[in-house]
Structure 1
Amino acid sequence: MSDLTLRPFFWRPTNLFPETRLVARTHDGIHEYTYDAFGRRVRSLVAALTDRGLGPGDRIATFGWNHHRHFEAYFGVPLSGAQLHTINVMLGDDDIVHIVEDAADDCLLVDPGEPFRTIERLWDDLPIERVVVMAESVPETDIDAVAYEDLLADHEPMRELPPLEEDLPAGMCYTSGTTGRPKGVEYTQKMIYAHAMMVMTPAGLDLSERDVVMPVVPMFHVNSWEFPYAATMAGATQVYPGPSPDAADLLELIEREGVTMTAGVPTVWINLLEHVDEHGGDLSSLERIVVGGSAAPADIMRRYDEEFDVTMEHAWGMTETMSIGSVSRPKARMDDWDRERTAAKRKKQGLLSPGLEMRVVDDDGEAVAWDGQSAGELLVRGPTVVSEYYNRPDATAADFVSRPVGETAGSSEGFSPSEKWLKTGDIVTVDEDGYLEVVDRAKDVIKSGGEWISSIALENALMAHEAVVEAAVVGVPHEKWQERPLACVVTAGGSTIDEPELRDHLADELDQPDWWLPDEIRIVESIPKTATGKFDKKTLRGRLDVVADDE
């Protein structure tokens, strides 16, 4: 039997859908070509890397946005036998230097513009000798670099690709590092194969060659939620939104290319909706938006559904699970449910992806009931879940467990001590239909008087108010109750609202006792975000002079 590698993923679209279009927004405008041309360029990239002695055992980093050259690197690097290491261009200088040093990258592919200027600024601290600028030419610089297009022009497409083994390291991504230094996570050829197949299936994201897919989730973040691989295997038309896309850029691409499916964090779709409200726009081609990173506000989901006939699908995942690990889509027997009942299901993180197993356990490691109320930490395992961190044996013991856990809800059966489960750090409930819902991160749940308060539930309830654009809730120390919730909200432009009104809104919106309500609600100009677009509660706590237990 052949090894499970990326070779069939590359073969299928270039041979069966050679005329299908690929579109990218770049610094120089819109670039269009086909899977056939993509295939030739990837083979030239493999030839160029091989000619420079790069292959198995080497790690090639990328530092750029979503465009066709980055997409080609997603295939050319692992098809050469080397490992693709995507680095987040939004990280701070210290984290970038740490990640490059820790990964010991052999070569760097970098975007022109701000990413290249960042590398120039940090150059003396980076242990990299070979640099390729993903452009037609190299900016004026003292760095010895080559232009990506010159690299390809100097090499004919390689006819016979190098042999690959399924256990070869093929991908690498670092965690966001919100509570400490980012940790490296490695993916093998087999893991990417398994995860892309999982994502492509109807039980995953249901991708086909009929789709026009625009992944807004950055390519520097967890394999862009596997879209570059899964959509390619499906033979779908792909649209890449380029450097720092704003709402106007995204709307233009949706209208121009007839995008049917897209994906990204909730703030992207909140901003797009605001842009359409103010300037108008045609979303008629759009069918689905996949949302991850945090929950989308219920009102935003409702508006996309009712006003534009666009379905927002919640997904859950982590760097350690190669991103997508669950998707919320109603089961067939729920087709005749009314809109309100269906919406209640869709707002959850959904059903676990095929190939994965999960357990939800209490502090003693015992399985909690699947009743939609009992909460515990989510544990997962499967062929796409890592069992260790790169270069971090100290982190492994805290994040992975190999102790008996109930094999089914309420069961006392255990599993082999040699099997590892990932401790996700997510506190979840699972309902009687098997749909998981993230209640909070373990580090963010507020423990008040011995009871848990979900910061996520409070945030979603606040953002259900039409005047609230963003909301973040953190726990602050309290002499009597240990912790109490404090909320920070950003209001829509021109909106006026005060704390008593928001408190009354929360009381009406939440089906919870009064002690859940925040002791204080602050109106702020902005809420800090991580490099992946999530609310940065670590930074927010610092601004509020609040120190979290895990810091």
Structure 2
Amino acid sequence: MLGMMQDWPLTVDKILDHAKNWHGHREVVTRSVEGPIIRTTYAEIHARSKRVSSVLQGWDVKVGDRIATLAWNTSRHMEVWYGIMGIGAVCHTLNPRLFPEQLIYIINHAEDKIIFVDLTFIPLLEAILPHCPTVKRVVVMTDELTMPATKLPGAECYEALLGAASEDVVWGGFDEQTACGLCYTSGTTGNPKGVLYSHRSNFIHTLLGMQSTVLGPSPKEVILPVVPMFHANAWGIAFAGPASGAKLVMPGARMDGAAIYELIVSEGVTFSAAVPTVWQMLLTHLRENNLTIPTVKRVMIGGSAVPESLIRAFHDEFDIEVVQGWGMTETSPIGTISILTPELAALPYDEGMKWRVKQGMPPLGVELKLKNYAGQEMPHDGHTYGRLMIKGPTISGAYFKGEGGDILDHEGYFDTGDVSTIDEYGFMQITDR
């Protein structure tokens, strides 16, 4: 017997629809690539995303076509992001920090048809585009006043295109398993491998991230996602922010300590997420200038193990809770979060540090196991090592175009490549790779 509930496909266009309908006035603030601070709202982003969709449909973009972005965290990037996904095309976020030959391989492997590029990356794209025959169009994400002369063949101005486009576009109408986003991982041997997210997986990952034990966003939050949108969907914040009605503050191209501090203070940021090096730069800037950041309550740090000294510094000097997260491109990326249980939080701070430096527990929707190389399950005793295996609706089941063959074991678990322990409280700690 099946349930009798409505069939409501989990497609990510509904996330931005929700943001427009119920949080349309909420701000998204961007330090633009051109320099000035730009203010917009979810309602305006929704309307402009529809115009992006209209432009793409005018260029005969179909469901499943790969459309790439080479861009920073900005409101324009969000517009392109949802404009691509809303009509069933695949948003392929390119990582500009990869070597040019890796980018060439990735663009060709993905068979990208169009690339949306920020001004910063025009020289990079000019150098690699002659080696990328599938790319037929380039859109420079700027206005007509700052549109540069470029060697990019047929480059078009983003704002000029949107100015002539219609908002009369229908989003959705396709299966929730339709491909939605594509991100390549460089954490594997050989050529980068493509992780192809579905609308369903990204929608579920958004719900997963909205748990209070994960990102826990709400309309009261002001979130600064320093982690780039080309790093596994900015750890889901580009979805969870609109879904929750939180104000977003997008840092653009500047991620130095002074620039991050300026945004935090001017916009009243309450929560932020970034890799350890960014927080180290911010900490140095705060100390050197004898500054405080009273609005920030939590920061999420991931990408690499968080030093104990960084956790202590933010707690002792600024009364900020550091939440450590672990994940991979293949896990969308949320895998575990180091939110202490009541028993562990009640311990003296120094005693509880043993768990704060660990990578934490999986939220609902993620399953973990430790296995040895014979495939036997290992105990969760805090000292027995094992291969970290992960499973769930937001975990990759195969790489794009079948690269790497079958990547799941007989139980459907993905081998992360990490060696870990899991203790009696359920806290996972990476020990080797």
TM-score range, shorter chain: over 0.9
Pairwise CA distance, 1:57: 2.2
1:401 to 409, 412, 417: 409
1:139 aligned to 2:145?
Answer: no
Query: In 2, distance between residues paired with 1:18 and 1:319?
Result: 30
Report matched runs for 1:467-546 at 5 Å: none
Query: In 2, distance between residues paired with 1:324 and 1:426?
Result: 15
* Aligned AA (2:289): H
* C-alpha contact (below 8 Å) 1:289/1:313 kept by paired residues: yes
1:304-361 C-alpha deviation (Å, 9 max, x unpaired): 0011011111111011111111101012344432212333222111111211111101
1:80-124 C-alpha deviation (Å, 9 max, x unpaired): 1100000001111100100000000011101113x1111111221
Query: In 2, distance between residues paired with 1:10 and 1:227?
Result: 13
| SS of match in other structure, 1:173 | strand
Q: Which residue of 2 aligns with 1:54?
A: 61
Query: In 1, distance between residues paired with 2:372 and 2:415?
Result: 12
Q: Which residue of 2 aligns with 1:180?
A: 190
Q: Which residue of 1 aligns with 2:367?
A: 357
Query: In 2, distance between residues paired with 1:158 and 1:318?
Result: 37
Query: In 2, distance between residues paired with 1:158 and 1:435?
Result: 49
* C-alpha contact (below 8 Å) 1:255/1:282 kept by paired residues: no
Q: Which residue of 2 aligns with 1:329?
A: 339
| SS of match in other structure, 2:101 | helix
Q: Which residue of 2 aligns with 1:200?
A: 210
- Identical counterparts, % of pairs: 34
* Aligned AA (1:388): A
* C-alpha contact (below 8 Å) 1:205/1:327 kept by paired residues: no
2:117 to 87, 110, 119: 110
| SS of match in other structure, 2:405 | helix
Pairwise CA distance, 1:264: 1.1
Q: Which residue of 1 aligns with 2:289?
A: 279
Distance change >3 Å, CA 365–CA 162, structure 1 → 2? closer
Pairwise CA distance, 1:55: 2.8
Q: Of the two structures, which has the highest relative contact order with CA contacts closer than 8 Å and spacing of 6 or more?
A: 2
| SS of match in other structure, 1:352 | coil
Query: In 2, distance between residues paired with 1:325 and 1:158?
Result: 38
1:428 aligned to 2:420?
Answer: yes
Query: In 2, distance between residues paired with 1:334 and 1:158?
Result: 53
Query: In 1, distance between residues paired with 2:369 and 2:318?
Result: 37
Report matched runs for 1:7-22 at 5 Å: 7-22=13-28
Flag as ranges the 4+ runs of structure 1 deviating above 4 A: none
- Higher Rg of the two aligned structures: 1
Query: In 1, distance between residues paired with 2:172 and 2:243?
Result: 20
Report matched runs for 1:67-466 at 5 Å: 67-113=74-120, 115-127=121-133, 128-137=135-144, 138-142=147-151, 143-158=153-168, 160-177=170-187, 179-393=189-403, 395-397=404-406, 399-402=407-410, 419-441=411-433
Query: In 2, distance between residues paired with 1:225 and 1:389?
Result: 19
Query: In 2, distance between residues paired with 1:111 and 1:67?
Result: 10
* C-alpha contact (below 8 Å) 1:22/1:32 kept by paired residues: yes
Query: In 2, distance between residues paired with 1:390 and 1:41?
Result: 30
| SS of match in other structure, 1:302 | helix
Pairwise CA distance, 1:400: 2.6
1:132-184 C-alpha deviation (Å, 9 max, x unpaired): 11111332023211111111111121253352320111000000246321111
Query: In 2, distance between residues paired with 1:335 and 1:203?
Result: 14
* C-alpha contact (below 8 Å) 1:251/1:281 kept by paired residues: no
Query: In 1, distance between residues paired with 2:306 and 2:373?
Result: 29
* Aligned AA (2:11): T
Query: In 2, distance between residues paired with 1:123 and 1:425?
Result: 33
* Aligned AA (2:330): E
Query: In 2, distance between residues paired with 1:310 and 1:162?
Result: 40
* C-alpha contact (below 8 Å) 2:118/2:140 kept by paired residues: yes
* Aligned AA (1:85): H
Q: Which residue of 1 aligns with 2:10?
A: 4
Q: Give the TM-score, by structure 1 length.
A: 0.75
Pairwise CA distance, 1:206: 1.1
Query: In 2, distance between residues paired with 1:301 and 1:60?
Result: 39
Query: In 2, distance between residues paired with 1:159 and 1:392?
Result: 33
| SS of match in other structure, 1:207 | coil
Query: In 1, distance between residues paired with 2:236 and 2:418?
Result: 21
Structure 2 gaps of 5+ residues are: 1-6
* Aligned AA (2:10): L
Query: In 2, distance between residues paired with 1:112 and 1:212?
Result: 27
Pairwise CA distance, 1:391: 2.4
Report how many aligned residue pairs link the two structures: 422
Q: Which residue of 1 aligns with 2:4?
A: none
* C-alpha contact (below 8 Å) 1:65/1:244 kept by paired residues: no
Query: In 2, distance between residues paired with 1:281 and 1:176?
Result: 37
* C-alpha contact (below 8 Å) 1:315/1:324 kept by paired residues: yes
1:374-428 C-alpha deviation (Å, 9 max, x unpaired): 11111011101111111244x134x4322xxxxxxxxxxxxxxxx4210001111
